[in-house]
């Protein structure tokens, strides 16, 4: 019996239910992954006992010498991973990393340009319901109406008209590679700083599968828990000369004491991402996404932008007369976890949506490859194309449970 089972069986029971859900289901949320045992161990380590406000060598409490060691290790590894000059690994999330960059570089009321949330952007890039949308004057660019990909000429024209102090690039539901150099050049032309949020594609950038914003954008932010396959948290990368302002913005500007157990786990994650096996993993994520996309298209499902270059596929369900919410619920009953998502030309609320976002990081971490993606794509097609047929949904669920059991999250999971 574990300490948790002994001391709090109620919480232990809930955690066990979640373990069962993950083991016997298929997680296709594009922003999720499965951490290694080493990352999990560091996350639950004794490092969580210490308050370590400040930075290595400049803490506000005694007894931080080993926390200095692990934070320096995390920063050094992250800089090596992305060929960056300076890293801050203290942000608790990607959103807080973004807020720290805003706080360090622009003033309330300043103009920023960012990708529309309904067309693939992120909440923290200036959505009206987010603090970023309340503090700054936000002008949103989107994708081309017909191609559903970014039109850099149109974005440049908008920048010339709006004269932003900051241009934000990066997305949470955009299935194509982003040209960070083009964004950097647009920002330079209009005298703006450029922030690239690579939270979703960090693993693809780190391994050279996608182009990098490090040398062409002023700041780069990321999470560590999506394609990077680490603990939940954020990080910021920038040039050495911009480091002091970023560090001051994170602490004391945005946060108090860092989560040192998470920083320790980030250090483990960054070491894993520097290995040859991780590059093979990232390459497989993209291969899997392309095969999944092709299979979904073969099941009469429309792909936004016609396909994918990264780890996710965005489906437009408008032709099927069903909502993203309905599809999410039906697939959930079948043991396939996805999320409803807005799409270009969206006409429904973000709580309902016309689209579905599907990603391959987690299933790839479980060892699934192209043949398995074909099977998963066929299951998704069966459910969506027979969404009112409970017998079909339950039949798929049984097949999913048997299938998932062959790809354990961890060797000792059953």
**What is the C-alpha separation between 381 and 299, in angstroms, rounded?**
5
Known catalytic residue: 232? yes
Q: Of 223, 227, 337, 342, which is the active-site residue?
A: 223
Cα distance from N-terminal residue to C-terminal residue, the chain: 17
Kindly write down the DSSP assignment for every residue of 203-240, as one continuous string: HHHHTTSS---TTTSSEEEEESSSTT---S-EEEEE-G
Q: Which residues contact 117 (CB under 8 A, 6 or more apart)?
A: 123, 125, 127, 140, 342, 350
Known catalytic residue: 85? no
**What is the C-alpha separation between 203 and 220, in angstroms, rounded?**
13
Known catalytic residue: 348? no
Known catalytic residue: 226? yes
Q: Would you say 349 is a known binding-site residue?
A: yes
Measuring CA to CA, which residue among 295, 312, 334, 395 is closest to residue 26? Answer: 334
Q: Would you say 243 is a known binding-site residue?
A: no
Q: Which residues contact 18 (CB under 8 A, 6 or more apart)?
A: none
**What is the C-alpha separation between 244 and 105, in angstroms, rounded?**
12
Known catalytic residue: 162? no
Q: Of 50, 53, 181, 374, which is the active-site residue?
A: 53
User: Strand pairing of 137-141 and 111-115?
Assistant: parallel
Measuring CA to CA, which residue among 220, 172, 238 is closest to residue 200? Answer: 172
Q: Can you give the length of the chain in residues?
A: 414
Q: Of 197, 272, 326, 372, which is the active-site residue?
A: 197
Strand-pair partners of 197: 221
Known catalytic residue: 197? yes
Q: Would you say 351 is a known binding-site residue?
A: yes
Backbone torsion region of residue 229, taken as left when φ is above 0, otherwise alpha when ψ lies between -120 and 50, otherwise beta: left
Q: Of 77, 165, 176, 232, which is the active-site residue?
A: 232
Q: Of 226, 266, 357, 366, which is the active-site residue?
A: 226
Q: Of 19, 51, 85, 290, which is the active-site residue?
A: 51
Q: Would you say 123 is a known binding-site residue?
A: yes
> ∠328-234-250 over CA atoms, to 5°?
135
Measuring CA to CA, which residue among 275, 272, 350 is closest to residue 33? Answer: 272
Annotated binding site: 117, 121-123, 349-351
Which positions are catalytic? Answer: 51, 53, 197, 223, 226, 232
Binding residues for (6S)-5,6,7,8-tetrahydrofolate: 117, 121-123, 349-351
């Amino acid at each position: 019996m574990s300490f948790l089972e002994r001391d709090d069986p109620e919480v232990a029971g809930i955690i066990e239910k979640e373990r069962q859900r993950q083991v016997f289901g298929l997680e296709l949320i594009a922003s999720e992954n499965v951490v290694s045992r080493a990352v999990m161990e560091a996350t639950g380590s004794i490092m969580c006992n210490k308050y370590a406000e400040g930075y290595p060598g400049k803490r506000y409490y005694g007894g931080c010498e080993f926390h200095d060691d692990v934070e320096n290790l995390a920063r050094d590894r992250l800089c090596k991973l992305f060929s960056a000059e300076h890293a801050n690994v203290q942000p608790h999330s990607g959103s807080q990393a973004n807020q720290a960059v805003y706080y360090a570089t622009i003033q309330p009321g300043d103009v920023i340009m960012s990708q529309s949330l309904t067309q693939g952007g992120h909440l923290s890039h200036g959505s009206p319901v987010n603090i970023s949308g309340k503090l700054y004057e936000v002008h949103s660019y989107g994708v081309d109406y017909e191609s559903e990909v970014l039109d850099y000429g149109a974005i440049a024209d908008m920048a010339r008209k709006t004269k932003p102090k900051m241009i934000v690039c990066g997305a949470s539901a955009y299935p194509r590679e982003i040209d960070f150099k083009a964004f950097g050049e647009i920002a330079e032309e209009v005298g703006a700083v450029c922030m690239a949020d690579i939270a979703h594609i960090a693993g693809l950038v780190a391994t050279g599968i996608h182009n990098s914003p490090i040398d062409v954008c002023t700041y780069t932010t990321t999470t560590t828990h999506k394609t990077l396959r680490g603990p939940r948290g954020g990080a910021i990368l920038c040039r050495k000369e911009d480091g002091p302002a970023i560090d001051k913005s994170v602490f004391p500007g945005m946060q108090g004491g860092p989560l040192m157990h998470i920083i320790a786990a980030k250090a483990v994650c960054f070491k894993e991402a520097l290995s040859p096996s991780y590059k093979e993993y990232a390459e497989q994520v993209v291969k899997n996404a392309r095969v999944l996309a092709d299979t979904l298209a073969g099941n009469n499902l429309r792909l936004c932008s016609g396909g994918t270059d990264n780890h996710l596929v965005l489906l437009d369900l408008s032709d099927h007369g069903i909502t993203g919410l309905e599809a999410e619920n039906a697939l959930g009953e079948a043991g396939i976890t996805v999320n409803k998502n807005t799409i270009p030309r969206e006409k429904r609320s973000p709580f309902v949506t016309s689209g579905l976002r599907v990603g391959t990081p987690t299933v790839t971490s479980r060892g699934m490859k192209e043949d398995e993606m074909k099977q998963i794509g066929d299951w998704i097609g069966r459910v969506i194309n027979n969404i009112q047929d409970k017998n079909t949904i339950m039949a798929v669920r049984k097949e999913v449970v048997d299938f998932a059991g062959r790809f354990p999250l961890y060797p000792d999971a059953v």
